[in-house]
Chain A
Amino acid sequence: MTPPEPYLGVLDHTPVRHHILSVLVENKAGVLARIAGLFARRGFNIYSLAVAPAESNARFSRVTIVVDAESAPLEQIVGQLDKLVNVVAISDIAPKDALERELLLATIQTDVDNRTSLLDIIAEARAAIVDVDAKSVTVMLAATPKGCDDFEKALEAFAAVELHRTGRVALPRLGKMASA
């Protein structure tokens, strides 16, 4: 009998399954572990997660969690998250009402032959060059997750040395209030 393939999870990248939670938390040690632990033990899937201090107030941080709403009902995820004492507020932003942005940084090897076509792709995507040397270019793109996906795909033609994405942050579109 051949051994089974290792289990790689069931994360589905289709955006319809995703829901964005913008979570205001107390800026205390271990808060991220509490959130991650809760998701792990309740079987909720995190698609991406971004954390930074919130609104010039050192007391709080904002965590943007893109959850897989098919792994569990959103109501359960929000309800359990809200029970964490360090969680101050949760805004639930439906995908269609969300303004989402993500930052992508990539270092790409280039030579004289392909540099022009690389510059074309960068210009078309409205990415920016942040570092250059004789053999490589580091580019930055702040765009929608789809924009980052497309740019990443376009870069596949080149030898990427390294590529990082931040995971997305989001705010509700103007006139679309997030539900608390």
Chain B
Amino acid sequence: MQITGAQALIKSLEQQGVETIFGLPGGAILPVYDPLIDSTIRHILVRHEQGAGHMAEGYALATGRPGVAMVTSGPGATNIVTPIGNAHMDSTPLIVITGQVASASIGTDAFQECDITGITMGITKHNFLVKSAQEIPRAVAAAFHLATTGRPGPVLIDVPKDLAQSMMDWWYPTTIEEYDLPGYRPEVALDEEAVARAVQLISQSERPVLYVGGGTLKSHASRELLAFAERTRMPVVTTLMARGAFPDSHEQHLGMPGMHGMYSAVTAIQRSDLLISLGARFDDRVTGKIPTFAAGAKVIHVDIDKAEFNKVRIADVAIQSNVASALRALDAASAAPQNLDVWWKEIRSWQEQYPLVYDEPLAAGPLRPQHVIEAIARDAEPGTIVTSGVGQHQMWASQFWKFEEPGTWINSGGAGTMGFGVPAAIGAKVGRPDRTVWCIDGDGCFQMTAQELVTARAEGIPIKVAILNNAYLGMVRQWQEMFYDERYSEVYLSADLPDYVKWAEAMGCVGLRATNVKEMRDVIDEANSINDVPVVIDFRTDSSEKVFPMVAAGASNDDIVVHPSQRGGAK
């Protein structure tokens, strides 16, 4: 059957089971948009290509299936570089299709030409510049295989316009051999000897901690984690990328570690004698000053990516595996630590002494941002998906929302991309229309990508956005207050400019505002009663609120700074 390269591209995406593409057309990708009209695939027309990328990421993180974005060449392609970099840092399966100028024009500085495979070489798992129409099915099949296996990540396919227009004989790869990836071996056999050494280390341990990272979610290992943790009684911490991998309500869960982690989670890691890292990568936001990080602990490092071993911290035992298989192997070997009663007694004393706290809410306002998050969470249905941007609001959301299941917390971890929240929420809602999706956002983040609410309204995607409007780039303000003698440099945004309610209304959304506790409760009720259009709430919060606990950048985790109300007592 002879079809065009463009038809082959769409047909290949259908073969992969793609239901939704987030994108925006332009000159070089024009031929591919024509067969899209006849396809079963839903296309969501974004207002900026960055939105397409983050929506596809949100879709992927909510569903566990790869997100797909399609944009044109040149500026269309460069506008999606940030989401590609974001997906690379957070190992999110993302397929990006970019139009390219005609093959004969490549290298001539043609209109809207850019070397997008060159630009994204360092921030994709792999990328392809298609050389013939006949190769399009192979590129698509290989891209999905690469994006979703091993350590997941973004894959880009660059399609020159003339190839989309030329004819090809339709075929589709049916075996992995036909993907032509002789250098790609994502899975290796479990090293039984390493597992045995891990069992040995565990058996000697009196103060173990399960350090759970994003790889646990990526390998769908929550059930195995719960079984292993409950059988061994080990305390669990979940990193920013792993929130939801283990229920926050579980008594063995100490919460998030790291720069703004729970005191008990940070301190348990510091005092542990065995750290079992499950798909985590010893990020600097978790370790603080590396030489003092869990200095007395042996390390068992489980990761699918062997390049993570000994990159930051030398592992005593490295197990190259997905987290689920490794936990099953450890369970099968009946790995068990020493009696943990003394360890738990110590941990419980930290939890009692330093729980997560914030200042008493003021009825008349300004609102406490933590109080707003707790109020939204209290009225949210179980399984509600939360997205966020990057900054103080992100940390508070991670701290004060209680996550009970995988895929309910979607944020930008490694890259720290401001503006991620709104488009990610839209993508998540498209992937999980049955779930309520809240974006907990900051006023700075919201202004970066808010235009996608037009997309949400036009496409009928009713997300809810809570702007914690403190009129500042809050996290930068916090650092300037604490580390730069309160010299505030370029962080003031104004609470009233823009007028978020009018802006929301102009974008076809419902816009609400709350300045005191009563209004806060009313607008949350109202937002929860609206299920047909997006809702945006401008919560006026206290600018002086800071995120605690806090470990200063580069400081030791031993020097964690707790909330002012908890200081003064014995540490």
Contacts and interface: CB of A to CB of B under 8 A. Distances in A.
Interface of A: 25-26, 29-30, 33-34, 37-38, 41, 73, 75-76, 79-80, 82-89
Contacts of B311: 76
Given A75-B309, A80-B307, A85 B126 contact: yes
A76 B309 CA distance: 8
Contacts of B182: 26, 88
Contacts of A26: 182-183
Nearest to A79: B307
Nearest to B182: A88
A73 B311 CA distance: 9
A87 B183 contact: yes
A76 B181 contact: no
A23 to B, nearest CB: 10
Interface residues of B, number: 19
B307 A76 contact: yes
B89 to A, nearest CB: 13
A82 B184 CA distance: 9
A147 B131 CA distance: 44
B355 interface: no
13 contacts: A26-B183, A29-B131, A30-B121, A33-B121, A37-B122, A73-B310, A76-B307, A79-B305, A79-B309, A82-B307, A83-B125, A84-B183, A88-B183
Contacts of B210: none
A85 B121 CA distance: 11
A41 B125 CA distance: 15
Interface in B113-168: 117-118, 121-122, 125-126, 129, 131, 146
Interface of B: 117-118, 121-122, 125-126, 129, 131, 146, 181-184, 305-307, 309-311
A85 B181 contact: yes
B310 A76 contact: yes
A70 B32 CA distance: 49
Contact of A37 (B121, B125, B307): B121
A84 B311 CA distance: 17
A156 B150 CA distance: 54
Nearest to B124: A85
Contacts of A75: 309-310
Nearest to A25: B183
Those 9 A-B pairs whose CB atoms lie nearest each other, nearest first: A79-B307, A88-B183, A85-B126, A87-B183, A80-B307, A88-B182, A41-B122, A85-B184, A37-B121
B117 A30 contact: yes
Given A29-B129, A30-B117, A83 B305 contact: yes
Contacts of A84: 183
Given A75-B310, A83-B307, A87-B183, 10 more contacts: A30-B118, A30-B121, A33-B121, A37-B121, A37-B122, A73-B310, A83-B305, A86-B126, A88-B182, A88-B183
Contact of A33 (B118, B183, B306): B118
A157 B276 CA distance: 63
B282 to A, nearest CB: 13
A11 B122 CA distance: 24
A33 B127 CA distance: 13
A90 B344 CA distance: 46
B183 A86 contact: yes
B306 A85 contact: no
B314 to A, nearest CB: 10
A133 B183 CA distance: 49
Contacts of A87: 183
A75 to B, nearest CB: 6
A80 B151 CA distance: 13
A78 to B, nearest CB: 9
A73 B309 CA distance: 11
Contacts of B305: 79, 83
B182 to A, nearest CB: 5
Contacts of B129: 29-30
Most chain B beta-carbon contacts within 10 A, residue among A25, A73, A80, A83: A83
